[in-house]
Structure 1
Amino acid sequence: MHWLYLCLAIVFEVGGTLSMKLSEGFTKWQPSVLLVVFYICSFVFLTLTLKELEVSTVYAIWSGVGIVAITIIGFVYFGERVNVTKVISIALIVIGVITLNLSSEKTSDPVPTVSKSIE
């Protein structure tokens, strides 16, 4: 279920970012309201995801997939320019998210913590 929550958090985050662009600096009220609603929903689902998964992995996936999705939407929908530097940068983000995700699955043991005892 936590992976579904993460997917929903990403979808709402992308919707919020698109609304941010469409709000034109909060001058259009409909996208401005959607921006707030989408980001609230995104953070709710992100918080639910963090109940089961590591914050480093979740945040990397959430932000990385969001960055890639928004970049592709920017290229396709908003007609932003594509160049080699942007493509390489996006590829590095994808590689980083995949690598972080794979490394966190291998090290499932929690880091030992030092606790203070009150005597």
Structure 2
Amino acid sequence: MKGWLLLLIAIAGEVIATSVLKSTQGFTRLLPTCVVFLGYGMSFYFLSLSLNTIAIGIAYSVWAGLGIVLVTLISWLVYGQKIDLWGFVGMACILAGVLILNLFSRASVH
């Protein structure tokens, strides 16, 4: 269970960093730039810790899949990015894939 908590922290760091990336204006604004570097650093650090108990393929698929969906939703809510029906269908497919991999695949057994 600890590995999954570490992975969730890694995902949070990546989502925060990616969501703030636009605000750096090409790394010309100091505070958002610091948030991006700290977020990505935190993300990779906690991802590496989670790999002690979670298989790398599983950890990475969860990290990437949830990151994609969360960043897309944040960009929709914060930046006004338009998401059409097929965008939501695609995100649902990503989430379904992550769930299937974790709930039914033997690959998730470490």
Per the normalisation by structure 2, the TM-score is 0.90
Superposition CA RMSD, Å: 1.6
Match of 2:104 in 1: 103
How many Å apart are 1:104 and its aligned residue?
3.7
1:8-61, Cα deviation, whole Å (9 max, x unpaired): 001101111012121122121211111111101110100000011101110011
1:61-91, Cα deviation, whole Å (9 max, x unpaired): 1111111111111111111112012111111
Cα distance between partner residues in 2 of 1:8 and 1:105: 24
How many Å apart are 1:107 and its aligned residue?
6.4
Aligned length: 109
Cα distance between partner residues in 1 of 2:108 and 2:27: 44
Unpaired stretches in structure 1, ≥5 consecutive residues: 111-119
Match of 2:47 in 1: 46
Identity of aligned residues (%): 34
Any idea what SS the aligned residue of 2:104 has? helix
Unpaired stretches in structure 2, ≥5 consecutive residues: none
Per the normalisation by structure 1, the TM-score is 0.84
Match of 2:20 in 1: 19
Greater relative contact order, per chain length (Cα 8 Å cut-off, separation 6+): 2
**For the pair shown, which has the larger CA radius of gyration, 1 or 2?**
1
